[in-house]
Structure 1
Amino acid sequence: MQSLETISVEDAVQVLAVVGDLSMGLPIDHSMRTARLAARLAEENGDGAQACTSTRLVALLRWSGSTATAGGFAQLLGDDVGGRLAMVTRTLPGASNLSLHNVLPLAQMQCEVAGDIAALLGLSEDVEESLRHLFGTHQHSDMQDPLFAPGIPRSVFYVRLAGDLEVLAPAHGTEGALRLIGERAGVKYPALLVERLAPHAQAWLDALEEPTCAADYAGHDRRVPMALLADVIELKLPWLAGFSRRVAELTRHSANLAGMLALEEKPMVRAALLHGLGRVAVPNAVWDRPGKLDAADWDKAHQAPFWTARAASQVPAIQLEATLASYAYERLDGSGYFRKARGAALGMQESVLAVAVVFTALCSARPWRPPHGEAAAAALLTAQAAAGRFDRQAVAAVIAAAQASPSRTRAGATAGALAGAPAREGLLSAREAEVLRHVSLGETSRDTARALKMTPAAVRSHVDVIFEKLGSNSRPAATLKALARGLI
């Protein structure tokens, strides 16, 4: 079994910060700017270096669970990306459908997933606990301490306050931002902390425009599976669960069959795990559309690889892989996107990756169509190669790799095992794992029951047991943990 591609914890946090920002419709450097503000606030309040580091990590991962709630906000707001941007900048129209009743469950889910991400990254307990409390609600009476509510980590308040200042100032000006922040002083954050921020707000915002090196994190040399990034990205669209893992494995074997060197193969596999990064910046309504996309939707979809390329410029550690990943939808005849690259501009690395993405997608179910059989997918790609859209050698290598192990391209395959994650026998029964595979792809209890020839009540009973065993309260959290542990 091949070993997992890995990435340092610090670089993984940086990538997840970008993913969260794009998912929320925020500027691609919002979380990094918030981290600097929050650390300054913690320092101003007298906290030590370790607390400032924890605060910075919480700020960077503030929106990391937002992919898990994209579907819920898409239902509430129509546009999960633009709608959430309007929500956090407080520019939503007065007639919005948001209420505490329908937003609180999504906030709790987002906190759960963000906390799980911190745990999977091996971050400290105070970072994990801060993320699990980040979007909770409080009353004035909770603020018994002049600065902090009992039982809630201090980083929560630093990050809430810094994040609001950073996101509200461009929309309302610094004075307007402080006025809006003041309206929630004593509830969302302690009033005294707001008073300590106010005199420095403009100067600290101005300082963000100055270039700076990323702050060092003491655990930067630890490494985690790169597949975790793909799993978090794909929580945005349940039907994508495990997709990039399968693309990565097919890419690896295709590169071998194409006679490529290990030096060429490694960035391809890593690019396969990152190729969907920019997809989070495009509203769910585009990806979930059951029929053909109109011109406006296509324009939005074409932005996905552009944002993947932008991420490459934001996080130097993934520049090579993310740049390569941004070519996944280019075509030899220039009909792809977003660059409209053609011919010699696309080498064998770009060509194999593009074919592996398409082949895996064709063999996976989508909201607008059932999966193709692998023979049908091979025939379609062979015809496309003959028409000049794909490289013939790349197509032949991908088809041969898929035929050597057909399960690599199917959504029902064991995604964690395909990517090399360690399997943990015994945690879930075979039936429970089967149920979770269906549920993780967004299927309802009725759909899962029909597929597995069970009753919906039996499916729900299995799901309850699965959640208990995994220590999860939501489908996205259970999916993330199960993929990381190689259970599905």
Structure 2
Amino acid sequence: MPPASGSPGEETAPWGGGAYRGGVDGEPPEPARLAELVAALSLGIDLGFGQPMEHVLRQCLIALRLAERAGLDEQQRAVVYYTALLINVGCHTDAHEQAKWFGDDIAFKSRKYDGQPYGLRGAIRGIRLLGAGSPVLRRFRIGLEFAIAGHRDVDRMLQYHGRLARSLGERLGLPYPVLDALTCAYEQWDGRGWPGERAGDRVPVAARLAQIAEYVEVAHRLGGVTAARRTVRERAGRQFDPDLARLLYADAPLLLADLGAVGTWEAVIDAEPALAVVLTGDAIDTALRAVADFVDLKSPYFLGHGTAVADLTSAAGVRVGLSRAEISQLRRVGLVHGLGRLGVSNAILDKPGPLGAGERERARMQPYLTERMLRQSPALAPLGRLAAMHRERLDGSGYPRGLTGTAIPLPARLLGAADVYRAMREPRSYRPALDPEEARARLRDEARAGRLDADAVAAVLGAAGHAVPRRLDGPGGLTRREVDVLRLLARGLSNKDIAARLVITSKTVGNHVEHIYAKIGASTRAAAGLYAVRHGLLPEDEPAKMG
């Protein structure tokens, strides 16, 4: 699927080829298809919308069937394929802000399919959810703040979802037609979508097909063919392309047949149009790193966490003498270990106070969800099995399975120690980042208490002690002070909080923020966070002292 000829100003990486080189020395590895990675990510998107797993996979099948019925050729259907799998991937990038305004971000997004998502009804439903789960007085304050400035934040969030999805597509090397369709993920046929720059057939057909398939999948799952037909009839000519709506209405029994009976994963992987994209060599690391960085955007407290854990874990693997193949696998496990956070609400991840019993149980689902997302891919399943162990502890106090002692392999012990160390070195909603010495002392305490492996802790601390300081200034023409502001802005701090932290005025911070956004081409916290991670500004680190 080459880029469309004549696409203005667009230069995309070519599709990859070859085979994934990983696994154990001397054993032929399973090939890693890009379709498998994107399909696995789509399972996390399902969780983030409060939908059952494989919702996105089913919408992909519907979109492909409708595309074939509409007469699209194989190259066009390949564009539809990746657009349908990724069209909602940008929605989790501002889950922090969604939780701030509406409480549980997953519960908020799950209401997307209840009724008209746009216009007056959608706005009224959103207002009713402001401050959900908070005391009455706090809900009033949140409502007042939303009326003053918050509604503009939400509008910008919607405008940027498509652009952020496109940015992931760029890093995955997807060609221009897919990127263009992802940019238009929330445009409508009548021009009243987001950002509202296109209407009618100026919206790429792949985006039109993916959007109608998304809503039809939910309607059909809940109410059968009758509900699916009602959905397209009600939205035709407004949200949906009327011609595509008529096609689906007429052929609904055929297009929606067997959706609940087929093996959805296998059907979607086998349905990839054109030549299957197989990642080779470093391409798998590049793709996994792109996905890890993108998933970490879900919370300002986890920006760059996956990449940092992967780098630290692989460096620790060198110190304990693992083979090159084992270190390569360990790096990839580090990159995927946090994917399950997509299924945990930011009302929990970003909560400034202690978690309740029910909240703790939801948070403890993260490792299991990571494994669940990856287990259907032959190439990714081994990574998921190791990633699921990063919260296990030698004394059996960990989760999700309460493994003990030798049941936790060395790579998982290294990953667990690296994850703890990096978490302590990063700020969290309930505490600031710990300095290197304090983090080292606490990690050693975990080893002394018998929860973490002492050799793994020593290897991780050794690797951290030889860390290279990250760049402090320069990308995009940012000044040193602008870099400081960008880091705090990306972490979700307000202008007032940034001013207090840097001992400058809020007005000065506002000027810096304006200059930063102009220089890096962003206007939301998530977009600024992605820029900071991609340019090595987050997570901020310092070399630890040896000893």
TM score, norm. by length of structure 1? 0.87
Asked if the contact 1:107–1:136 (Cα under 8 Å) also holds between the matched residues in 2, the reply is no
Cα 1:225–1:193 shift into 2, 3 Å: closer
Query: 1:362-419: CA deviations, max 9, x gaps?
Result: 1221111122232222222222222221111111111222222285xxxxx55xx9xx
Q: Distance in 1 between matches of 2:274 and 2:40?
A: 15
DSSP-derived class of the 1:280 partner: helix
Counterpart residue number, 1:195: 246
Query: 1:107-164: CA deviations, max 9, x gaps?
Result: 212122112222232322222222222213453899xxxxx80421111211111111
For structure 2, list consecutive stretches of 5 or more residues without a partner in the other structure: 1-20, 23-31, 129-149, 194-198, 539-547
How big is the shift at 1:210?
2.1
For structure 1, list consecutive stretches of 5 or more residues without a partner in the other structure: 143-147, 408-412, 418-422
Counterpart residue number, 2:92: 67
Q: Distance in 2 between matches of 1:424 and 1:452?
A: 19
| Counterpart check, 1:79 vs 2:104 | yes
Q: Distance in 2 between matches of 1:281 and 1:141?
A: 30
How big is the shift at 1:426?
5.5
In the alignment, which of 210, 215, 224 is matched to residue 262 of structure 2?
A: 210
TM alignment of 1:183-262, pairs within 5 A:
183-208=234-259, 209-211=261-263, 212=267, 213-216=270-273, 218=275, 220-221=277-278, 223=283, 224-262=286-324
How big is the shift at 1:326?
1.1
Counterpart residue number, 1:153: 204
Q: Letter of the aligned partner of 1:287 in structure 2?
A: L
Q: Distance in 2 between matches of 1:55 and 1:459?
A: 43
Q: How many residues align?
A: 467
Query: 1:275-317: CA deviations, max 9, x gaps?
Result: 1110110111111222221110111011111110101123333
TM alignment of 1:295-374, pairs within 5 A:
295-374=357-436
Asked if the contact 1:24–1:63 (Cα under 8 Å) also holds between the matched residues in 2, the reply is no
Asked if the contact 2:156–2:524 (Cα under 8 Å) also holds between the matched residues in 1, the reply is no
Asked if the contact 2:475–2:535 (Cα under 8 Å) also holds between the matched residues in 1, the reply is no
Counterpart residue number, 2:326: 264
Counterpart residue number, 2:510: 460
TM alignment of 1:373-384, pairs within 5 A:
373-384=435-446
How big is the shift at 1:444?
1.8
Counterpart residue number, 2:71: 46
Q: Letter of the aligned partner of 2:58 in structure 1?
A: R
How big is the shift at 1:254?
1.2
RMSD across aligned positions (CA): 2.9
Asked if the contact 2:40–2:374 (Cα under 8 Å) also holds between the matched residues in 1, the reply is no
Cα 1:375–1:217 shift into 2, 3 Å: farther
| Counterpart check, 1:177 vs 2:228 | yes
TM alignment of 1:81-100, pairs within 5 A:
81-90=106-115, 96-98=125-127
Q: Letter of the aligned partner of 2:214 in structure 1?
A: G
| Counterpart check, 1:37 vs 2:62 | yes
Q: Which moved more, 1:208-217 or 1:262-271?
A: 208-217
Cα 1:452–1:76 shift into 2, 3 Å: closer
Query: 1:23-70: CA deviations, max 9, x gaps?
Result: 222222222221121111111111111111111111010111012121
How big is the shift at 1:89?
4.4
Q: Distance in 1 between matches of 2:367 and 2:212?
A: 33
In the alignment, which of 193, 214, 219 is matched to residue 163 of structure 1?
A: 214
Q: Distance in 1 between matches of 2:313 and 2:441?
A: 19
Q: Distance in 2 between matches of 1:12 and 1:296?
A: 31
Q: Distance in 2 between matches of 1:51 and 1:329?
A: 43
Percent of residue pairs bearing the same amino acid type = 31
Q: Distance in 2 between matches of 1:386 and 1:139?
A: 64
Counterpart residue number, 2:449: 387
DSSP-derived class of the 2:89 partner: coil
Asked if the contact 1:234–1:242 (Cα under 8 Å) also holds between the matched residues in 2, the reply is yes
In the alignment, which of 463, 478, 499 is matched to residue 401 of structure 1?
A: 463
Cα 1:131–1:438 shift into 2, 3 Å: same
Q: Letter of the aligned partner of 1:281 in structure 2?
A: G
Counterpart residue number, 2:185: 134
Asked if the contact 2:334–2:415 (Cα under 8 Å) also holds between the matched residues in 1, the reply is yes
Q: Distance in 2 between matches of 1:41 and 1:479?
A: 37
DSSP-derived class of the 1:316 partner: coil
Cα 1:172–1:83 shift into 2, 3 Å: farther
